[in-house]
Amino acid sequence: MPKSAEECRTIIAFSNTAGGKLIIGVDNQGEIIGLEPNVNIFELKDKVASIIYETCYPTVLTDIYTTTIDDHLFLIVEVYRGNLLPYYLKSKGKNEGVYIRVGATNRKASHENILELERQRMNISFDQEANREVAFDSLNISSIESRFMLAGKVLDQSVMKNLNLMIEENGTFYPSNGLLILLGKLDHVSIKCSRFKGTAMDVFLDRKEYDGDLFTQLENAENFIKNHIKLSSEIVGLQRKDQYEIPLEAIRESLINAAVHRDYSNDGRDIKVGIYDDIVNVVSPGGFPSTITQEDILEGRSEIRNKVIARVFKELNYIEQWGSGIRRIKSSCKNKGLKEPEILEKGDYVDVSLYREIVAQKQVSEEVLISKEYEELISDYLKLNQNKITTKEAQVVLDLGERRSREILRVMVDKDILERVGRTTNTHYRMKECETK
């Protein structure tokens, strides 16, 4: 019954992020106990719906239904992401009662989180908002103008208004947050680069912090990486061809993705580049948008967090095609014989690891050993959840990391135990023998 504080927070967090399911009939230790015998299921469903209605605001979108597994009856409360963000606990109000889902935990939303949810409801991004604290005439935009000139384009007033770089209100022009980000005028718009000794962060060999306009920051960060990785040469025909151990395409795409898709509304963090003996690591603030999954990202689906930044980068040909960056990162490294890069959501940031060490690719079935226990855990979960499990749900069920859980699911597919269904936001796995005929 969703009556404990944590269960109510979970319902709110589901509504504010990507939705989820609350299973009534499983205790806190994960033991299957089912509902009490002779329970009046109609009264129970009404009671649950009433508790949710009285506890949460605005009205939460739910589907409440029952399922029976091995003679045990369960009540499933499926919560959908709402469109009246933010949702909050009535008893605490909007300032204190908003919760969001981070990984498999609930987190109390900060003031910045609440503002971002409100922007999502209105379908606007942080970089589209006017910044009324900075006078537009005080800005030197020559660094951006020069980038447009190099691309053979003009950046005049009409173009700036069309790109939402400047916003007119009652005859007064204000810069957008997007323009200030591109100019590097916000304190947290910077890239910190470090070269560490070995494979840990214990000892610095070199470090730099870059500010200024965003394009110069990216160029400086790329040069920093190039200075700390190996460069080799080969003779092609009559010419010498220099090659870095990690393809420049992968490095550039990783940096551009970090700059274009990071969460600029969080003013306490910046982009960090770490170079170790085994990897180049790029970390950017902000998890994946709540409307898409890890699978969607890896398959090329793009959800734009910063609409102004993205449009300018597209205008200047830093972005070739929406959603193609991840694919190019992976393919360029694969073509060079490198281990496949890891692109992971870790809490509220995105972590990209480009491997320096050349590792022969192995079949997943050879890399991953799955115990019978893991298969049984996945099977039991599918029985309780209408034969459907996502990678995030598998992480919770298996108590493993995202990469390990994904590999386990993939190997179960290879063994014809599971099949993968869908290619977009509804990507999930189900038992192979339960295929609809």
Domain end among 330, 355, 380 = 355
pLDDT < 70 positions in the chain: 1-4, 27-30, 234-238, 289-302, 321-323, 357-371, 423-426, 433-437
For residue 336 the two structure tokens come to 């060079």
| 176 and 87, same domain (yes or no) | no
Domains of the chain: total: 4
Q: What CATH number corresponds to the domain at position 383?
A: 1.10.10.10
Domain that holds residue 390: 364-434
Distance between CA atoms of 283 and 377, rounded to whole angstroms?
32
pTM of the complete model beyond 0.85: no
| 152 and 12, same domain (yes or no) | no
| 165 and 313, same domain (yes or no) | no
| 338 and 204, same domain (yes or no) | yes
| 253 and 163, same domain (yes or no) | no
> In this structure, is the dihedral angle defined by the CA atoms of residues 373, 377, 379 and 383, taken in order, positive or negative?
positive
pLDDT, position 67? 87
CB 273 within 8 A of CB 337: no
Domain end among 134, 167, 183 = 183
pLDDT in tens, 156-203: 999 999 999 999 998 899 999 999 999 999 999 999 999 999 889 989
| 232 and 328, same domain (yes or no) | yes
DSSP assignment letter at 356: -
pLDDT, position 364? 38
Q: What CATH number corresponds to the domain at position 42?
A: 3.30.950.30
User: How does DSSP assign 207-243, residue by residue?
Assistant: EEEE-SSHHHHHHHHHHHHHHTS-EEEEEETTEEEEE
DSSP assignment letter at 354: E
Q: What are phi and psi of 258, to 5 degrees?
A: -65, -40
pLDDT, position 368? 45
Q: What CATH number corresponds to the domain at position 220?
A: 3.30.565.60
pLDDT, position 122? 83
| 75 and 22, same domain (yes or no) | yes
Distance between CA atoms of 116 and 86, rounded to whole angstroms?
9
| 173 and 197, same domain (yes or no) | no
| 373 and 420, same domain (yes or no) | yes
For residue 419 the two structure tokens come to 């099949």
CB 207 within 8 A of CB 193: yes
pLDDT in tens, 295-310: 666 666 667 889 999 9
Domain end among 327, 355, 383 = 355
| 64 and 209, same domain (yes or no) | no
| 161 and 249, same domain (yes or no) | no
Question: Which residues on adjacent β-strands are paired with residue 204?
Answer: 196
pLDDT, position 196? 95
| 267 and 317, same domain (yes or no) | yes
